[in-house]
Structure 1
Amino acid sequence: MHHMRRAELETIARPKGLQRRVGSKLPLALADRNAKIAIVHDWCPDFRGGERVLSRICKIFPNAEVFTLFDFLPKDIKDQYFQDVAFHSSVANRLPMVQSYYRALFFLCPFLIEQFDVTGYDAVISSSAAFARGVITRPDQPHLCYVHSPIRYAWDEQFSYLEQGRLGFGPKGLVYRYMLHHLRTWDTRTAHGPDLMLANSSYVRSRIQRIYGRESQVVFPPVAIDELEFVADKDDYYVTASFLAPYKRTDLIIKAFNDMPSRRLVVVGEGQQSQGLRSMAGANVVFTGYLPRREFVRTVAKAKAMVFAGCEDFGIALAEAQACGTPLVAFGRGGAFDIVRPFGDIEDPTGILFGRQSVECLKEAIEVFERNETLITPQACRFNAARFSEDRFDLAMLKALAIAQSFHVRR
C-alpha cells in the first residue's frame, strides 16, 4: 500500500525526526495517547516476550482494546499487566479443549483474523509474529505493524519444523506443505497492508526486506529495567531461560555442560522438550521449571552468565539478563547480535558471541568467558540495557503511529 522511504523511516530513531515536514512547515506531533486504538495480537497462550510487548502498548494507549485469536492468559496475569483492558477473541477460542491443539489450527487463522471488525477505531496497531497483520482495515485507517517475526514455520524455518514433526512427503506431510504454500501466499499479500512496519531487531528487519521487499525501522522491545534487580556479586552457576522448544537449542547447551561436569547449569522454563531434556541432562544440570517472576529475576541476576544457543528474533530474556548485570554467552545470530556488546570487538563488553551452533563452539565460548570474566562487568551490562528501556519504546511507538497517521492526512 504505502512503502516508507528510508529517510522517513530513519526519523523514528532520532528525536530530530519530529521535524520531518508532512505537507506543511509544521513539525510532526506525537500520536495521541488517548486515541481509540485496536491492538491486534496473534494469540495469547502464555505471558512471554510478545505478550510483554502487548502489555506495554496497552499502557501507552489506555483506551486501546485487544483482538487476539486465542486468549489463555490467567486472571492474575490480566489483573497485573492488562488491568481494565478489553480482550476480544475469535470464535475458535470457544472450541472444546482448544488450548491443547490451537497451533494445529494455523490453516484457519488467516480466515479467523479477517473476521475481527476493527473498522470503528481511530487506528490499528498489529503485534504480529504470524497473522495479526492481516486484519482488515478501512482505506483511510492508519495501520502500524510491530513485527516480532515473519511466520517462521512458513518461511526460512519451514524445513526444520517439518523435520521435527516428522512430516516427510507422505500424505500428511504433503497436506501440511500445501497448506504452508497457501499461507505464504496470504502472508505476502497482506504484508503490504500496514502503512508502516517496525521490526524488533536488525535480524527481523533483514527478514522483512528479504521476504516482503519492504523497508522497516528497528524498535527494540521494552524492558522494565527499573523492576529488574541488579546484582554485582554473582553466584557460581550459569543459567539458561526460555520456553523449551526445539529452535531454542537448549539441548546443545545441556550437551555442552554434560562435557563440563565441574560447571553448574540452571535451566529455567518448560515446553514440549521438557521431558526429553531432563532425561539427557547430567548431575550438574538443574531444572527449575516455570518460576514466578520475582524468583525468575533473582535466579538470572545471581548467575555468573546466561547461556543461549538459539537464533532468537530478539530475546527479551537476554536483555533482561543484561539489566540484572548478568553477562551473556550467546549464539551470534538473531537478536543477540543487537543486544550483546561482544568481547574482543568493543569497549566495555557485555558478553561472548559464538559463531556456530555446536557443542565445541559453545564450550570454547565458555572458556573464553571464564578467562576474561573480570573484563565483562555487571556494571557494563546494566548500562548496556538502558538501550532497551520502556520510555524509549514508548516514544518510538508514538512517533511511528504519528507517521502512519500522516499518510492519511496528506490524502
Structure 2
Amino acid sequence: MKVAIVHEWLVTFAGSEQVLARIASLFPEADIFSVVDHLSDEDRTHLGGKRTKTTFIQRIPGSRTHYRSYLPLMPLAIEQLDLSKYDVIISSSHAVAKGVLTGPDQLHISYIHSPIRYAWDLQHQYLRESKIGWGPKGWLVRWLLHKVRIWDYRTAAGVDHFIANSHFIGRRVHKVYGRQSDVIYPPVDVDAFEFCENKGDFYLAASRLVPYKRMDLIVKAFSRMPDRKLVVIGDGPEMSKIRSLSTPNVALLGYQPFSALKNHMQRAKAFVFAAEEDFGIIPVEAQACGTPVIAFGKGGSLETVLGAGNPQSTTGLWFAEQTPESIIDAVNRFECMPEPISPAACRRHAEKFSVERFQGQFRDYVDQRWSEFSSLRTQTT
C-alpha cells in the first residue's frame, strides 16, 4: 500500500509532532504533507530528515511566525493537496489535516488529537483569553469560527476511521462529528526518563507558561502553604504574572534544558498538574521517573493517573476544581495518605504508554483496516 501522512503545521517539535514522527517511522516510504513546514534541521532529524509537501500558505509572508493567523485559509489550503495516487491516507489532526480530499478507493484513517478546540466547546474560553470582545473584530472572528465549524463537521464524512488519543477525546469526537472512534494512547518516550526511588522535599510543576496550563493556580496554592516548597520550570507569556504571585517557598527556574527538567522530575515529591488536557504527556513522564502526580481530575488526567483506591495501584491524586483551595486540599490529602504512593507502581503504569506499545497498536490497526477495506473493495468491483 502506498501511504501519505498529513499533519497540520510543522513549526516546533511538540506533542503532536512526536506522534507524527512515530507514525512516520512505521511507514518509512510514506510521503508527508503539511500546511506549512518551518522545522529546524535539528527537529527534522526526528522525521528522518524528510521534507514535507506543503500548501500555498508556505509561500505567504509571515507563515513562519504567524501561521495561525491564516486559519481562515487553511481549509482551502488543505483541500489543494493532491493525494490521488495514495492507497492509505493517515492524518494527524488537531485542526484541518483530516479535511484532505480522498476518493472511494482510498482508505483515510485520522488520528485525532482533538477536534478544533477553539472552534467548538472551547470557543468561549479562547475568545476570553484572546481578549476578543464584541466589536467588529469580535464579530468577524465569531463568524469565521462558525464557518470553520461547518467545514469541520462536513469533512468528518471523508474519514473512514477515527482514532482518538484518549477516551476523553473520543467523547468529543462523538459529540462534534457524531462518529465513533477507537482509542490508541499517544507514545511517551518513557525510556528517556529513568526511574528514581529517592525523593526530595519539593513539589514540581513544569509546562509552558500560557493561560490554559493554569500555573497561576498552582503558585497561588503554594503561596498559601509557606512550609512546602514548589519548583516551577518553564517560560512563556505568563512569566511576569507567575513571578508576581510567587513567594519565597516558590522557586521559578524559567526554561531549563531536558537534563535539568528530568533531574527535578526524578527527585520531586510529587508533580502538580492543573491543566485540562486532551491527554497530557508530562504527567506520564513524571510517573516514568517514579514520581506521583497531583492532577486536575478532568480530561486526559483521568486516564493517565490512577487515583486512590485503584486496584492496579495508586499513582496519584486528583483535585476536583481548578482553584487554589482544591489544590491545597489535594496536597494535604497526599501528605496524609496512610501509605505512600509506590514509585515502582508509578513506573509500571507509565510503561503502558510506551513508544513500543503505540507503534505495535497503530501498525496493527492500519494493517487490519487496510485488509478489511481491500477485501470490501474487491467484492464490489
Fold in common (TM above 0.5)? yes
SS of residue matched to 1:296: helix
CA–CA separation in structure 2 for the residues paired with 1:108 and 1:210: 25
SS of residue matched to 2:36: coil
Aligned to 1:332: 297
The alpha carbon displacement at 1:188 in A equals 0.2
CA–CA separation in structure 2 for the residues paired with 1:72 and 1:240: 30
Aligned to 2:179: 214
CA–CA separation in structure 1 for the residues paired with 2:132 and 2:148: 17
Select 1:202's aligned residue among 158, 167, 172: 167
Select 2:67's aligned residue among 102, 106, 111: 102
Deviations 1:196-253 (A, max 9, x none): 1011111101111111110001110111222221111112221122222211111111
The alpha carbon displacement at 1:127 in A equals 0.5
Residue type of the alignment partner of 1:331:
F
Matched residue pairs, number?
A: 376
Evaluate the alpha carbon distance shift between residue 62 and residue 303 of structure 1 in structure 2; reply closer, same or farther with a 3 A threshold.
same
Evaluate the alpha carbon distance shift between residue 314 and residue 276 of structure 1 in structure 2; reply closer, same or farther with a 3 A threshold.
same
Q: Which runs of 4+ in 1 moved over 6 A?
A: none
Select 1:173's aligned residue among 138, 151, 158: 138
Where do residues 64-143 of structure 1 align in structure 2 (5 Å cutoff)? 64-79=30-45, 81-143=46-108
Confirm or deny: 8 A CA contact 2:12 2:43 kept in the other structure.
no
The alpha carbon displacement at 1:347 in A equals 4.8
- Per the normalisation by structure 1, the TM-score is 0.87
Residue type of the alignment partner of 2:65:
S
Aligned to 2:15: 49
CA–CA separation in structure 2 for the residues paired with 1:234 and 1:71: 41
CA–CA separation in structure 1 for the residues paired with 2:20 and 2:263: 24
SS of residue matched to 1:100: coil
Confirm or deny: 8 A CA contact 1:144 1:400 kept in the other structure.
no
CA–CA separation in structure 1 for the residues paired with 2:175 and 2:201: 43
CA–CA separation in structure 2 for the residues paired with 1:167 and 1:231: 46
Percent identity between matched residues is: 44
Unaligned runs of 5+ in 1: 1-34
The alpha carbon displacement at 1:408 in A equals 4.1
Residue type of the alignment partner of 2:115:
P
CA–CA separation in structure 2 for the residues paired with 1:51 and 1:284: 35
Deviations 1:273-332 (A, max 9, x none): 233223332232233333333332222222111111111000111111111111100011
Select 2:254's aligned residue among 264, 289, 300: 289
Select 2:330's aligned residue among 362, 365, 381: 365
Deviations 1:99-153 (A, max 9, x none): 3322222111111111222222231110111111001123211111100011110
Deviations 1:348-392 (A, max 9, x none): 200001111111011100111112284211100000112111122
- Per the normalisation by structure 2, the TM-score is 0.94
CA–CA separation in structure 1 for the residues paired with 2:369 and 2:9: 24
Aligned to 1:18: none
SS of residue matched to 2:302: helix
Confirm or deny: 8 A CA contact 1:43 1:69 kept in the other structure.
yes
CA RMSD in angstroms, aligned pairs only:
1.7
CA–CA separation in structure 2 for the residues paired with 1:361 and 1:122: 51
Select 2:203's aligned residue among 238, 251, 254: 238
Residue type of the alignment partner of 1:48:
A
Confirm or deny: 8 A CA contact 1:142 1:408 kept in the other structure.
no
Select 1:307's aligned residue among 247, 269, 272: 272
Evaluate the alpha carbon distance shift between residue 373 and residue 165 of structure 1 in structure 2; reply closer, same or farther with a 3 A threshold.
farther
CA–CA separation in structure 1 for the residues paired with 2:85 and 2:256: 40
